[in-house]
């Protein structure tokens, strides 16, 4: 009797690549935040996929177009839905909503968050703080989302700098999409 081989045509994901939670309509998530603040970055929506907006716009795939720019915020933490460490993607509205609930520039690390999206897949994302935060000493160090983002964008990591920054206060979240 031959034993089945555990074969796969898909290469294993590098160990620094984590799942990125992007909520669809009506989904919600309890998330324990490991990040001190948001990684905010600009992307372009091509009509079929998201690609990064580079600091040097000459490198933007398909060209730099302000009409297609979309801001996204990322937090590292624990997804109770997936029961694993991941990044959670935020819209500007939800990022601002969370930052308005914490004292000025206070760390988000250890906060339990409820992230939810209203009915349709284009519904609004909301975020609220839930329960007593975990002490920062009891949770793993925070991680940078870039390796996971390159993987999600299905692009090889590029040497060009992505247009991103740490976002610690609501006024640093752009008002537009």
Q: Which residues bind Zn ion (CB under 5 A)?
A: 53, 57, 60, 64
Angle formed at CA 85 by CA 120 and CA 170, multiple of 5 degrees: 60
CB of 110 to Zn ion, least distance (A): 34
Closest separation between CB of residue 87 and Zn ion, Å? Answer: 21
DSSP string, the chain: -PPPP---SSPPPPTT--EEE---TT-EEEEEE--SSEEEEEEEE-SS-EEEPBSSGGGSTT---GGGEEEEEEEEEEETTTTEEEEEEE-HHHHHHHHTTSSTT---TT-EEEEEE-SSTTSPEEEEE-SPPPPGGGSPPP--SHHHHHHHHT----SSPBSEEEE-SGGGS-S--
We find the least distance from the C-beta atom of residue 143 to Zn ion, in angstroms, to be 25
What's the closest the beta carbon of residue 162 comes to Zn ion, in angstroms?
A: 10
Nearest CB to Zn ion, comparing residues 73 and 110:
73
Nearer to Zn ion, 53 or 149 (CB): 53
Closer by beta carbon to Zn ion, 30 or else 59: 59
Q: Which is nearer to Zn ion, 82 or 160 (CB)?
A: 160
Q: How far is the CB of 68 from Zn ion (least distance, A)?
A: 8
CB 125 within 8 A of CB 115: yes
Residue closer to Zn ion by CB (options 19, 45) is 45
Please say which residue, 63 or 131, places its beta carbon nearer to Zn ion. 63
Q: State the nearest-atom distance from the C-beta of 172 to Zn ion, in Å.
A: 19
């Amino acid at each position: 009797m031959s034993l089945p081989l555990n074969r796969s045509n898909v290469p294993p994901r590098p160990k620094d690549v984590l799942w990125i939670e992007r909520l669809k309509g009506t989904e919600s998530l309890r998330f324990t935040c490991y990040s001190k603040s948001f990684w905010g970055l600009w992307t372009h929506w091509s009509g079929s996929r998201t690609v990064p907006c580079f600091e040097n716009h000459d490198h933007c795939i398909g060209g730099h177009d302000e009409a297609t720019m979309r801001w996204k915020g990322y937090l590292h933490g624990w997804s109770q839905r997936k029961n694993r460490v991941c990044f959670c993607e935020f819209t500007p509205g939800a990022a601002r909503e969370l930052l308005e609930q914490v004292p000025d520039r206070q760390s988000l690390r250890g906060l339990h968050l409820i992230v939810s999206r209203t009915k349709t897949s284009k519904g609004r994302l909301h975020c609220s703080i839930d329960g007593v935060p975990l002490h920062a000493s009891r949770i793993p160090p925070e991680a940078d989302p870039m390796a996971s983002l390159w993987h999600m964008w299905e692009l090889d990591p590029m040497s060009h700098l992505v247009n991103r920054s740490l976002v610690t206060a609501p006024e640093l979240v752009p008002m537009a999409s």
